């Protein structure tokens, strides 16, 4: 229980940043396409209070699947509503992928120095080792949470952003038919994910792991590398401290 609470506390800043960037991206792109609604409501901001949704936040903490308060979008301002709505929808997941890459770049830089310090005994104290382990863990969570948020939101059913992209390719008759039942589809999807999580099933886990492992491989921290070994060593050390 202690370990779980500590993990939540360390993950919270990363999670709030990921959700704030996600919603701000929606609002910013909507503004660029002519809709000033989000800007007028002060929703283009990294202040997490502006985007906070209690149910979505608790879901992210417990199920690792969550959401923020949706940014309002008025498609009447768009020149091409269906196309522009899809572009706005894609902005959120794309922003999280960019944020994941940024965290990964920082993690790669830290791991260059961490690997050298660990292999050649240049860590002078236990405090320094703890700080280094915390930095590595937080940066990794920045990669993992943003990848999870991006993939989750690309699911092509409401209320996820993927549905906005998917709708752009539907014939008008089907589009308005699906929109009519959007709320019921949303409730069904949330119930389904909650039910699967209770059974210990995460249908997106394999895709998330594959994507994260791919990013690690591209940046030279794939399986069998010294950097990955030191990375696992630091996270294992931090895990032992949390469980102590």
What end-to-end distance do the CA atoms of the chain give, in Å?
11
Contact 148, 208 (CB under 8 A): yes
Helix ranges (DSSP H) in the chain: 2-32, 37-40, 54-63, 81-119, 126-153, 161-167, 172-180, 182-198, 205-218, 226-243
Is 23 among the residues known to form the active site?
Answer: yes
Residue 4 in tokens:
């779980």
Contact 158, 89 (CB under 8 A): no
Among 23, 126, 208, 227, the one annotated catalytic:
23
Residue 200 in tokens:
């210990």
Q: How far apart are CA 200 and CA 183, in angstroms?
A: 26
197-234 per-residue burial string, b: 16 or more CB within 10 A, e: under 16: beeeebebeeebeebbeebbeebebeeebebbebbeeb
Please list the active-site residues: 23
């Amino acid at each position: 229980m202690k370990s779980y609470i500590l993990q939540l506390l360390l993950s919270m800043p990363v999670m709030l940043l990921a959700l704030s960037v996600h919603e701000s991206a929606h609002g910013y792109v909507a503004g660029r396409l002519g809709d000033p609604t989000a800007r007028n409501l002060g929703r283009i901001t990294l202040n997490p209070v502006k985007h906070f949704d209690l149910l979505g936040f608790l879901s992210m903490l417990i199920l690792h699947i969550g959401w923020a308060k949706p940014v309002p979008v008025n498609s009447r301002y768009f020149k091409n509503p269906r196309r522009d709505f899809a572009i706005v929808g894609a902005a959120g997941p794309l922003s999280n992928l960019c944020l994941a890459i940024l965290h990964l770049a920082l993690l790669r830089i830290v791991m260059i120095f961490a690997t050298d310090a660990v292999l050649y005994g240049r860590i002078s104290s236990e405090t320094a080792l703890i700080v280094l382990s915390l930095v590595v863990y937080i940066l990794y969570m920045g990669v993992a949470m943003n990848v999870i948020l991006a993939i989750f939101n690309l699911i092509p059913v409401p209320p996820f952003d993927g549905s906005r992209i998917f709708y752009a390719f539907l014939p008008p008759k089907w589009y308005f038919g699906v929109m009519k039942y959007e709320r019921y589809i949303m409730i069904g999807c949330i119930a389904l994910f909650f039910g699967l999580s209770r059974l210990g099933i995460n249908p997106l886990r394999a895709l998330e792991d594959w994507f994260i492992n791919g990013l690690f491989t591209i940046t030279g921290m794939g399986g069998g590398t010294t950097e990955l070994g030191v990375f696992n060593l630091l996270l294992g050390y931090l895990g032992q401290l949390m469980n102590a």
